[in-house]
Structure 1
Amino acid sequence: MPSLCDQLEDDGLRPSGIDGKAFVPFDFLEETINNDSVKDTLGMTGGTCIKARKPSDLPDRITKDAKRIFAALVLMDKVDAIESLLDEGLTDEHLPLSRDPKYDAVLSRDGETTFQFGGLGRPTITEFIKRKQWLFLAPILETNGDLIEVNQECALPFTESEVIGNGQAGVVHRAKIYQAHQRGFEAETVNFQVAIKDFHQKSEFVKENEILQQIRGLEHPHIIRHLTSIDKGKKGWYIIFPWAAGGNLQDYWEASEQEPSRDLVSWSLTQMLGLTQALQKLHEQFKCRHGDLKPGNILCVQENGETVLKIADFGISRIHHAQTTYRKTATTSLLLTPSYQGPEVEFEKVDKTDQRPRSRKYDIWSLGCVFLEFAIWLLHGPKAIEGFANAKGTGKSSTNPSSPLYEVTDKATRTARVHQLVSWTIERLQANPQCKEGTALAALLNLIKNQMLQPEVEERPTAALICVELETIIQEAQKDPSYLLPFCDTSGVPSLDFNSFQSGTY
């Protein structure tokens, strides 16, 4: 039978999938450190210490109060010190221990209690404090959205990790949380899978966490749940979310070759309404502008057998308690996605003495861009989405990889117009018999064209008004299913030949 030391080293130690540090899971420790294994390790028989030849309650004391301390001593081959440490009053509740900066002693976690640490030598104490104790102190994480501070030497209890995305702010991992080191993740995740945002800089972590802490009470079905935030000091900053197995909306579009159907149109309109309602909640209840709405920041989560779209990534969100249309100070968000940014971005630094502020209606333009692509996908599939993206062209620099859906006509007078590609695309979609007047898709395209994609901020509706429009469309469809998608001959449906747009032959 392997020794306790062998069990801890061979079977107990698990590498963290995030920070690479080893940890012994809580449940393994609980199972492995028991009266029998303690007696065997201490060389006891029948509850009597072989060396002292006297009855001992030491195994009970260890299993009750000091499993972590005992396990660490086992790995250090210092188990003989356990009794004197317990006699000093040391228990697992005092971990992690640290050096007293003033005296040659050891301090408890709260810094209130001092221990001589059994008279063990300085190298042994240093080994315990700097390395061994941390193997048994991986945190137990909860889903209440709290920010927790974790010592940089402590492992994070994540396994099966892989990097699935890189961005300007950091890296995104897909991982599993070790089951014994969580509370609530079973209900919030599928098979304990989570998405972990690993930030490059503390400032970006603080920025996003502050927003998440302020909106943590918002439990909207179309906003991704924030489970917890972790600050490991210089060793890393992490925010944990449920893993979206369906990827983001862009992934969903690319993977789907579905033909237009009433069910698909109904689902799409319902999800659009849900996203807009979530945005309304952010705008009105929390005075929060998301600031970077795009398909990549809308996640696809499976709930009760259906795909639900959820707004995610609040990295450049801002909370403003001033009026939404006019503010006295300019916005400083730089990490924008050009394809979905509103025209007002172009004019914020034209005149530093009279800056046009960015309002929450900035999100309305971005959402209009998303809805337009949604309509393209609904009617023409993922290849048309790709064609639309290519037709937009590339941006002017490496930091602006794609062009926006507007054209600046006069920067001095702060005027812009909708990109010709948008007008051309909407006209082609409106020529589709499935989008004829008196249909749901016709109403959606009118909403996008006439209200959401308005270059002038003041001319865009609020999220609340868009909700009303979408609710009306859905209600009409419930009365008459043919309103969703009329039966018609689709052989004459005009194609979206973006090559003809680019060549100017249309």
Structure 2
Amino acid sequence: MENGFKDSWLSAEVCSPPKCLTKETLTQLDSKLWGRGRAVRICETQWKFIVPVLSTERVNYDFEEEAILPFTNMQTVDGGAFSKVHQVRIQEGHFIDPSRPVNWPSLFAVKQIVPPDSVERQRIADSWANEAQTLRRMNVVHSEHIVRFITAFTRLDIGSERSHYLVFEWAEGGNLENLFTQCQNPTLSANLVKQTVRQLSGLAEALRATHELGIRHGDIKPSNVLRFGASEGDILGTLKIGDWGLAKSHPDATVLRSRRGVATDTRFGTVLYEPPEVELGQLKLMSRLYDIWSMGCLILEIIVWLVHGYEGVRNLRSDIQGSYRERVPYYVVDEVSDGKLKGKLQDAVEKWMDYMAEEPAFDRDTALGQLLVLVRRRLLVVELPPEMGNTVYAKNWEPDSLDSRAGKNPAFSLRPPTPAGEKSEKSGSPRQYRATSAELVAALGLGGIMDASDRPRYYWLNTSAGLRQAPRFYRNANLKALQDSSGMLTPQDLRPLSINSPTIVRSILNSTQFRI
């Protein structure tokens, strides 16, 4: 007290000469009162008295190695090559959220970033402040379909390296991939279809809001869509987009990486859900459309799960994988002429959508049918609009020109205006461009698929002819043929093939399961 020592001076450390100094004031203490032994004891025990209080108003904290974090009941619940997720409780009195003075969450998710090498570690360190600030900006959106960011912190490790952590609200329902595996055969009902469309509409609105901030996600997939508040009567709960670790604030034009050697300025997401422009090596693309393609993949897998269960999702993914040894996306890229590349949707995906379009559940007059058409006509579309904009085309929602309802809410069109002189490969038909997030919102919302007025009574679900069995179509890259195995393929049949393995090729050609 004689030296004016106070709590705000902590943390303190022993320096040489043996005086205890505070980093903030650098005031020397009286050596007669503060011998080295006492100073050392204070510095060793001080951490018990200065456990930090985390606040949503602070973007980032930098903690020393000895710091005691206010986490209790910490357990690792998920881990991958680049991160670990821990479920924690925060000690009472050590969490402040001014926007929510009551009803604080009891559990939180702490995501520890695990860089694979020193280069990535340095990149994370250099961009950490911007990364945390981007996550903070998304809280401003106040979307109930974006996982809420709490704060970020770094902690000094042995060797003077810092580990990086992100804190989010905890998703007690897991993610969509968990739901696919835990509820492998959902009870299909009109209410479940309606809940699904409502949640997809919310996800689209969340994307639109972040896209307007100039932020894209970059890795939308079932395991990154988290579930909150699910119950026996509402197995979906509230879906929220999480894992914004790849999120980045972009200008409209950005450089995308390509597996063909094109330079990049950012990391990317899961191969299965990435769009064709990544492989095509196109530059200065409107990167927000990256998310739209991934949403198309996500919606397709959701509606496959609704009607054909997890077996259908597995079959779809196996058909896309085909005989490729490496993981492949929903599209293929071919060289057409003079070294020019052209992307197209995988035949297996087209085959799946053709199959479902013939099912009563996907009748054009149903919500599922319109979702399928939306995916096919405006989401899983290779061609990008010539310019990026937020304009919603003021035309009727038309899943099919033969099924147009004149005078219906002018919100969205599957066929956007075509620039003068531009036609698709099909003579006379307008070009199809991938939708923007604003258009996706219009398509799914009350002016689109969510609008059940003037719809047939079976709009939310048509099972008049029952449900068909989940198909399995196998695309063999070496034979360049699409096969229909009627669900009879075994895991052994789906092993990767080599073009230099004639015995394997002949055995498949002779199989009664295949028709060429």
Q: TM-score range by the shorter chain?
A: 0.7 to 0.9
Structure 2: distance between partners of 1:156 and 1:326:
39
Cα distance in 1 for partners of 2:343, 2:132 equals: 35
Q: 1:145 to 1:478 in 2, by over 3 A?
A: farther
| Total equivalences in the alignment | 407
After superposition, residues 157-172 of structure 1 pair within 5 angstroms as 157-172=70-85
SS for the counterpart of 1:437 is coil
Give the 3 Å change call, closer, same or farther, for CA 363–126 of structure 1 in structure 2.
same
Gaps of 5+ in 2: 116-120, 386-432, 475-483, 490-512
Deviation string, structure 1 residues 349-401 (Cα, Å, up to 9, x no partner)? xxxxx74536210111000000000110111112211222222227967xx5x
| Counterparts in 2 of 1:416 and 1:188: CA distance versus 1, 3 Å | farther
CA distance in 1, matches of 2:32, 2:204: 63
* 1:197 paired to 2:172: no
After superposition, the Cα gap between the structure-2 partners of 1:261 and 1:505, relative to the gap in structure 1 and judged at 3 Å, is farther
How far the C-alpha of 1:477 sits from its partner, in A, is 5.8
Partner Cα distance (2:10, 2:151) in 1: 23
Partner letter of residue 466 of structure 2?
A: T
Q: Kindly indicate whether the alpha-carbon contact (under 8 Å) linking 2:218 and 2:268 is maintained by their aligned counterparts in 1.
A: no
Instruction: Please point out which of 297, 309, 313 is paired with 2:239.
Output: 309
Q: How does 1:455-494 map to 2 (within 5 A)?
A: 455-458=382-385, 459-471=433-445, 472-476=448-452, 482-490=458-466, 493-494=468-469
Structure 1 pair 116–225 and aligned structure 2 pair: CA distance change class (3 A)? same
Compared CA separation, residues 200 and 337, structure 1 to 2 (3 A): same
Are residue 125 (structure 1) and residue 39 (structure 2) matched? yes
Question: What residue in structure 2 maps to residue 404 of structure 1?
Answer: 329
Which amino acid is the alignment partner of residue 115 of structure 1?
Answer: L
Which among 441, 451, 470 is matched to residue 368 of structure 2? 441
Correspondence 1:341 to 2:315: no
1:225 aligned onto 2:148? yes
Q: CA deviation at 1:481?
A: 5.0
SS in 2 for 1:179: coil
1:332-351 Cα offsets, whole Å, 9 max, x none, are 33442011001111122xxx
Aligned residues: CA RMSD: 2.9
SS of 2:69 mapped into structure 1:
coil
Match of 2:504 in 1: none
Q: Deviations over 1:454-506 (max 9, x none)?
A: 11233201011111111211112686552111351306x35323463576549
**Does residue 378 in structure 1 map to residue 378 in structure 2?**
no
CA distance in 2, matches of 1:383, 1:288: 35
User: Does the CA contact (< 8 Å) of 1:227 and 1:240 recur in 2?
Assistant: yes
> Does residue 156 in structure 1 map to residue 69 in structure 2?
yes
- Structure 1 regions of 5+ residues with no counterpart? 1-85, 349-353
Work out whether residues 330 and 355 of structure 1, in 8 Å CA contact, stay in contact via their aligned partners in 2. no
Please name the residue that 1:417 is paired with: 344
Of stretches 117-126 and 239-248 in structure 1, the one that deviates more from structure 2 is 117-126
Q: Kindly indicate whether the alpha-carbon contact (under 8 Å) linking 1:277 and 1:463 is maintained by their aligned counterparts in 2.
A: yes
Cα distance change on mapping 1:451 and 1:195 into 2, 3 Å: same
* Whole-angstrom distance in 2 between the partners of 1:498 and 1:504: 10
Q: Which has the higher helix share?
A: 1
Separation in 1 of the partners of 2:277 and 2:264? 11
SS at match of 1:268: helix
Any conservation in 2 of the 1:222–1:309 contact (CA below 8 Å)? yes
Secondary structure, in 3 states, of the residue corresponding to 2:195? helix
- Give 1 or 2 for the bigger CA radius of gyration: 1
Match 2:2 to one of 87, 103, 108: 87
* Aligned-pair CA distance for 1:183: 2.1
TM-score (norm 2): 0.72
Q: Take 1:326 and 1:247, find their aligned partners in 2: how far apart are those partners?
A: 31
CA distance in 2, matches of 1:221, 1:211: 17
- Aligned counterparts of 2:243 and 2:453: Cα–Cα separation in 1: 32
Distance 1:303 1:143 in 2: 25
- Which stretch shifts more, 204-213 or 175-184? 204-213
Cα–Cα, structure 1 residues 477 and 441, in superposed 2: closer, same or farther, change >3 Å?
farther
CA change 1:245–1:134 in 2 (3 A) is same
Moved more, 207-216 or 180-189: 180-189
Distance 1:142 1:479 in 2: 49
State percent identity of aligned pairs: 27
Per-residue deviation, 1:157: 1.4
Separation in 2, partners of 1:498, 1:158: 49
Residue 258 of structure 1: how far off its partner (Å): 1.9
Contact 2:255 2:264 in 1 (8 A): no
Contact 1:365–1:453 (8 Å) recurs in 2: yes
Aligned to 1:277: 205
